[in-house]
Amino acid sequence: MSKGFTLIELLVVVVIVGILTMIALPSYQAYVLKSHRIAAINAILDLASREARYYTTNNAYTSDMTALGYSVSTAFPVTMGTGSTAYYNLSVASVTAGTSTTPADFTLNAAPVGNQTSDTCGTYTYTSLGIKGITSGSIPDCWKQ
């Protein structure tokens, strides 16, 4: 009786590991995309909160990062990510001053970059009226956390 594995047994193990990888990897990648999506939602809602806070003291919205409490001295977009990997660019897409007939408003964007561009939701938008939007996908599915 010999000890060890036969070539057939090793090939069967390799095939089984390959099949499990093909099943698990897409699920893991979808989970990673979703976690970055949640971070983008939180960042865009934080930016909206900062805009609202700024509006209460200045009666206007702004696209100045330092006025919104960011310590970064550069202009928008702000790159969101971990380490040197970016996932979204957060920006104030538009700020409109109010008039006697129309209120002031803003629109915020979180645009995917890098690997995140393969996410089904695309660019997130949020307005001063609390209107949530995306460039693709379903708003209820993409905005739920």
pLDDT (0 to 100) of residue 100: 82
pLDDT (0 to 100) of residue 88: 93
Q: What is the dihedral of CA 21, 27, 28, 30, to 10 degrees?
A: 140
Range of the domain at 133: 7-143
Residue 79 to residue 82: CA distance in whole angstroms: 10
Q: Is residue 98 part of a domain?
A: yes
Q: Is residue 2 part of a domain?
A: no
Q: Is residue 30 part of a domain?
A: yes
Q: Is residue 1 part of a domain?
A: no
Report the domain count for the chain.
1
User: What global pTM score does this model have?
Assistant: 0.79
Q: Which residues of the chain have pLDDT under 70?
A: 1-2, 72-74, 145
Q: Is residue 49 part of a domain?
A: yes
Q: Is residue 81 part of a domain?
A: yes
pLDDT (0 to 100) of residue 98: 81
